[in-house]
Amino acid sequence: MATLGLIFSNIRDKEIFEVTRERTIASTPIGGRYRLIDFALSNMVNNGISHIGVVTKNNYQSLMDHVGSGKDWDLARKRGGLVILPPYGISQNVYNSRLEALKSIKQFISKANEEYVVLTDCYYVCNLDYKPIFKQHFATNADITCVYRKKNVTADDYMPINVFEVDSDNTITAMNIHQEFIGEANVSADTWIMKRELLVHLVEQAIEHNWKSFNRDILRENLHRLKIGGYRFNGYFGSLSSMDSYYQINMDLKEEAIRNEIFYQKGRSIYTKVRDSAPTKYGFHAKVVNSIIADGCTIDGYVENSVLFRGTHVAQGATVKNSILMQSTQVKENAVLDYVVTDKNVKIVEVNELVGQKDKVIYIRKDGVV
């Protein structure tokens, strides 16, 4: 069945912290060589979705550079393919919510030919198979199916948080939007399936009544008018909401079981922009333990429990532990880094030691020299 994909690249404005201050959440580097949008794009492509609109808002220059024409996801096509949707549509103002974003691209949705539509955010790392979601959607005759996960919510999670009550027939019977919440709950994964014509109708209603919130005005208010189902996702779901969660997701990807689930599912690879980088060069003094090392690096020091992105240089005698070094970071001879996150093009050439803590990592901004 033909399906249109819609990806919201940075709908969560409150999730602005060090790493996302100058880039959209979708283009946040993760796992040595990926960006967050790679997971949402790959999940759709792996399920046969070949017409995908990426809804942008601000700071999306690096996002456009990364996705380009969509060639690396087989989305460079004459019909359908990848479409970048700028933040202006029916209004001269930039949108402030997911529903307002949908209003701004209503014409794009209306002109599409696909019968169904999948909507998703891209603040997460997961390998999501849409086939069983559609299977449940059809089996339950749902109008809308919302993906959720059972998780222990902490103060570090993004708020407000959407919590579902789901009955034995996988129908959502209640939806609560908590400004503050701590504890175990059925939490929305911000992924939805419905017919495209239904989405157009709901967006037109929202324009007519000046509704603002997709979750509150569309989903919660229609719980007793539409059949809204809930699909529980039980796999790994790394949710980006803070520097702590960013650090933890990168560290999680060093775990073999998580890495296999994300990257080695048959027929469900995670694709990213291909760069013609040389293999990593390991010097005579190099030693690497329990780390992810991308291509194009030069390692001649000691690296442990860390994630190094493309083009990183660790000089002889340098020690890098429990750290995340983004693209083209340079670490001088005999420097010591522990619990450090560097953005792109950082040079560690002046200080001899940078030591943070697991719950308080040191962050060095893009192009920084320390």
Which residue segment(s) compose the domain that 339 sits in?
281-364
10/62 same-domain check: yes
247/332 same-domain check: no
203/244 same-domain check: yes
201/99 same-domain check: yes
179, 163, 305, 319: which is closest to 248 by C-alpha? 305
Task: Establish if 25 belongs to a structural domain.
Answer: yes
127/12 same-domain check: yes
> What CATH number does residue 101 fall under?
3.90.550.10
Rounded distance between C-alpha atoms, residue 103 and residue 100, angstroms = 5
Torsion of CA 88, 94, 99, 103, to 10 degrees: -30
Domain end point (choices 263, 296, 314): 263
Q: What is the DSSP string of 283-295?
A: -TT-EEES-EE-T
258/161 same-domain check: yes
68/147 same-domain check: yes
Instruction: State the pLDDT at residue 289.
Output: 97
Rounded distance between C-alpha atoms, residue 76 and residue 72, angstroms = 8
Instruction: State the pLDDT at residue 301.
Output: 97
Instruction: State the pLDDT at residue 16.
Output: 67
Task: Establish if 243 belongs to a structural domain.
Answer: yes
Task: Establish if 275 belongs to a structural domain.
Answer: no
Rounded distance between C-alpha atoms, residue 164 and residue 102, angstroms = 23
253/291 same-domain check: no
Write down the pTM of the prediction: 0.93
Per the CB < 8 A criterion, the answer to whether 332 and 316 are in contact is: no
234/294 same-domain check: no
Distances (CA, A) of 192 to 113, 120, 329: 19, 7, 38
Task: Establish if 269 belongs to a structural domain.
Answer: no
Task: Establish if 331 belongs to a structural domain.
Answer: yes
Residues forming a β-bridge with 336: 319, 353
136/230 same-domain check: yes
Spell out the per-residue pLDDT of the chain, length 370, in tens: 899 999 998 766 556 678 888 888 999 999 999 999 999 999 999 999 999 999 988 778 888 999 999 999 999 998 899 999 987 655 556 666 888 889 989 999 999 999 999 999 999 999 999 999 999 999 999 999 999 999 998 877 777 888 999 999 999 999 998 878 889 999 999 999 999 999 999 999 999 988 888 999 999 999 999 999 999 999 999 999 889 999 999 999 999 999 999 999 999 999 999 888 899 999 999 999 999 999 999 999 999 999 999 999 999 999 999 999 999 999 999 999 999 999 999 999 999 999 999 889 999 999 999 9
In sequence order, which ranges of the chain are alpha helices (DSSP H)?
37-45, 61-67, 98-104, 106-111, 131-139, 196-209, 243-252, 256-263
What is the total count of domains within the chain?
2
